């Protein structure tokens, strides 16, 4: 599924850019081809690229942005999201977010290599998606950072319908007053997150991810140190949701119920080659009200309230599921890469490597990706 959807995105991208596509350079001091991002969006036509020089873009014209259904590329010039920031400048009494997609935008509407921070939306009226709101749209986000945003629902992002693609993105330190600290998926949404990190997000329900009548797919994702004040520290699946997680690590998440994940109200959560570890405040997995959690080739270990408890107890030892110490390189320091003698490596597990991180310490360590290697993926 993951490969076919990525292939579709690439094929559509190759067909959607006309020969006359133009590039519009925007600088934070207003000295580019257009003075603001909104001004560049106003003159752009389908297939154009809006390039942001390094710097911090803030104030009117650099927030509350809208592609208005067009296939456009909004990217940083350097490819480094830490160097190219959209600061929404939101706060009590002044609600702002970075981007809204609501006119059926498809995968050829692309945002690449940009940080969005400072989004702030409160309950009542426009309350969802602190950094980004997608409503019935399926844009693509590559190598982006969504950090330090707040909303009533979806502190970082809120996805309502549509199938956005988030690839190699970081969703960190966002807050939802109600649900979906990092990302909220609602109303039939089916986003695909690949190689993403969701860390240090906070909400009442779903500190990292909330699913409400939604079917997100997370592949190779790290869901780390998120907190729910009620249920689902890493992930909350409710109301007939169908989240699918493959090769993901859910570690050090916290909640009074379901420190790793909570499934309720007919939700069906599927985990394959995943690790649910070191959660605090409750058992790793909570299953209530007709919900189901299915694990295959997965490890559940070291959670303060228990590991293979209650509804998932019968799955231990079946389908490659284990309760062994994963042998992380340095979990105390937040390093969840595997030692070479880990029972979760491809060589030790009959069904392939478990978790989002490779072997990075010990005799068979894999070299870390350098920033230059990451950047080269996004050079055009």
Mean pLDDT for the stretch of residues 168-188? 97
- How is residue 193 written in tokens? 């997150």
Q: Which secondary structure element, helix H or strand E, spans residue 37, and what is its range?
A: helix 37-43
Residue 161 pairs in a beta bridge with none
**Does residue 285 contact residue 259 with C-beta atoms inside 8 Å?**
no
Mean pLDDT for the stretch of residues 301-318? 96
SS3 92: coil
- pLDDT over threshold 70, residue 133: yes
**Does residue 145 contact residue 118 with C-beta atoms inside 8 Å?**
no
Q: Which residue's structure tokens are 């592609």?
A: 67
Say how many C-beta atoms besides its own lie within 10 A of residue 296's C-beta.
16
- pLDDT over threshold 90, residue 7: no
- pLDDT over threshold 50, residue 368: no
- pLDDT over threshold 80, residue 340: yes
CB within 8 A of 59, min separation 6: which ones? 89
- pLDDT over threshold 60, residue 199: yes
Q: pLDDT-derived band of residue 122, with 50, 70 and 90 as boundaries?
A: confident
The two counts, helices (H) then strands (E), for the chain are: 3, 37
CA separation, residue 175 to residues 16, 126, 213, 261, 282 (Å): 36, 16, 21, 18, 21
- pLDDT over threshold 60, residue 375: no
**Does residue 343 contact residue 327 with C-beta atoms inside 8 Å?**
yes
- How is residue 85 written in tokens? 């920031």
Range in 37-46, 122-131, 142-151, 206-215 with the lowest mean pLDDT? 122-131
Mean pLDDT for the stretch of residues 32-61? 98
Range in 42-46, 130-134, 177-181, 371-375 with the lowest mean pLDDT? 371-375
Mean pLDDT of the chain: 91
CB within 8 A of 242, min separation 6: which ones? 211, 214, 215, 267, 268, 269, 270
**Does residue 267 contact residue 212 with C-beta atoms inside 8 Å?**
no
Q: What is the pLDDT of residue 362?
A: 61
CA separation, residue 101 to residues 104, 126, 159 (Å): 7, 14, 10
Q: What is the pLDDT of residue 364?
A: 55
CB within 8 A of 140, min separation 6: which ones? 9, 107, 108, 109, 110, 111, 164, 165, 167
Range in 35-44, 148-157, 366-375 with the lowest mean pLDDT? 366-375
Q: pLDDT-derived band of residue 104, with 50, 70 and 90 as boundaries?
A: very high
What phi and psi values does residue 12 have, to the nearest 5 degrees? -65, -40
- pLDDT over threshold 60, residue 167: yes
- pLDDT over threshold 50, residue 379: no
SS3 82: coil
- pLDDT over threshold 90, residue 20: no
Q: What is the pLDDT of residue 349?
A: 85
Cα distance between residue 230 and residue 369, in whole Å: 37
SS3 188: coil
Pairing status of strand 170-172 against strand 197-199: parallel
Q: pLDDT-derived band of residue 374, with 50, 70 and 90 as boundaries?
A: very low
Q: pLDDT-derived band of residue 124, with 50, 70 and 90 as boundaries?
A: confident
What phi and psi values does residue 5 have, to the nearest 5 degrees? -70, -40
- How is residue 103 written in tokens? 């006119």
Q: What is the pLDDT of residue 126?
A: 74
Q: Which residue's structure tokens are 């580019």?
A: 32
The closest alpha carbon to 57, from 88, 81, 33, belongs to 88
Q: What is the pLDDT of residue 372?
A: 39
Q: Where are the beta strands (DSSP E) in 64-182?
A: 65-66, 73-76, 84-87, 99-101, 110-112, 115-117, 132-135, 140-142, 145-147, 150-153, 157-160, 165-167, 170-172, 175-179
Say how many C-beta atoms besides its own lie within 10 A of residue 5's C-beta.
16
Cα distance between residue 217 and residue 161, in whole Å: 14
Mean pLDDT for the stretch of residues 263-279? 98
Mean pLDDT for the stretch of residues 160-172? 97
């Amino acid at each position: 599924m993951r490969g076919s959807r990525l292939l579709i995105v690439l094929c559509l991208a190759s067909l959607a850019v006309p020969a006359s596509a133009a590039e519009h350079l925007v600088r934070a001091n207003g000295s580019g081809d257009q003075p603001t991002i909104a001004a560049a969006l106003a003159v752009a036509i389908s297939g154009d690229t809006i390039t942001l020089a390094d710097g911090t873009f803030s104030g009117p014209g650099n927030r509350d942005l809208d592609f208005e259904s067009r296939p456009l590329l909004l990217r940083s010039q350097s490819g480094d999201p830490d160097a190219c920031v959209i600061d929404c400048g939101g706060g009590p009494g002044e609600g702002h977010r970075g981007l809204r997609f609501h006119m059926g935008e498809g995968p050829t509407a692309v945002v690449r290599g940009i940080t969005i921070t400072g989004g702030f939306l409160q309950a009542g009226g426009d309350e969802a998606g602190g950094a980004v709101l997608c409503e019935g749209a399926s844009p693509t986000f590559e190598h982006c950072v969504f950090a330090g945003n707040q909303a009533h629902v979806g502190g970082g992002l809120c996805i309502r319908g549509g199938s956005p693609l988030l690839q190699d993105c970081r969703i960190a330190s966002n807050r939802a007053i109600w649900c979906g600290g990092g990302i909220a998926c609602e109303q039939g949404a089916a986003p695909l997150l690949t190689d993403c990190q969701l860390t240090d997000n906070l909400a009442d329900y779903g500190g990292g991810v909330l699913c409400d009548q939604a079917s997100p797919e997370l592949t190779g994702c790290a869901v780390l140190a998120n907190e729910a004040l009620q249920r689902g520290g890493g992930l909350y699946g409710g109301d007939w949701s169908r989240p699918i997680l493959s090769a993901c690590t859910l570690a050090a998440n916290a909640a009074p119920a379901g420190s790793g994940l909570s499934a309720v109200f007919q939700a069906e959560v599927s985990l394959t080659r995943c690790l649910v570890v070191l959660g605090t405040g409750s058992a790793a997995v909570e299953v209530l009200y007709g919900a189901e959690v299915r694990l295959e080739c997965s490890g559940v270990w070291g959670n303060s309230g228990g590991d293979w408890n209650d509804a998932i107890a019968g799955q231990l030892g079946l389908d490659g599921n284990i309760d062994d110490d994963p042998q992380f390189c340095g979990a105390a320091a937040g390093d969840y890469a595997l030692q070479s003698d880990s029972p979760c490596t491809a060589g030790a597990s009959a069904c392939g490597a478990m978790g989002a991180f490779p072997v990075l310490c010990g005799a068979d360590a894999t070299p870390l990706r350098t920033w230059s290697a990451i950047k080269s993926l996004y050079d055009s």
